[in-house]
Amino acid sequence: MAYNKLKGLLREKGISYNTLANTINLSVAGLSNKINRKKGSDFTIAEVIRIKNYLNLLNEDVYLIFFTWFIVYKE
């Protein structure tokens, strides 16, 4: 599952992958791989914190963007 909420937020704020990649010290290709979850890539906690600070996200936003895909629903 890709980080669609993060993609939408970047689009909404007019922030390019290049700008975010430079801010969190990643290559654009590395950021794209992580956002699209290619090659088993995922964000580190340090990267999530840098993204949170750069985008001024609330803790709730961070949870919704980065951690909700971990939830497994059981019936």
Quick one: average pLDDT of 7-36?
95
Kindly report the pTM of this predicted structure: 0.84
Please give the Cα distance from 14 to 8 (Å, whole number).
10
4 close to 64: Cβ distance less than 8 angstroms: no
Percentage, residues of the chain above pLDDT 70: 87
Contacts 24+ apart (CB under 8 A), 52-57: 54/20, 54/23, 54/24, 55/9, 55/13, 55/15
| pLDDT reading at 12 higher than 80 | yes
pLDDT digits (tens, 9 = 90+) for 44-70: 999 999 999 999 999 999 988 988 655
Q: In the structure, how many helices (H) and strands (E) does the chain have?
A: 5, 0
Please give the Cα distance from 10 to 74 (Å, whole number).
32
| Mean pLDDT of the residues in the chain | 88
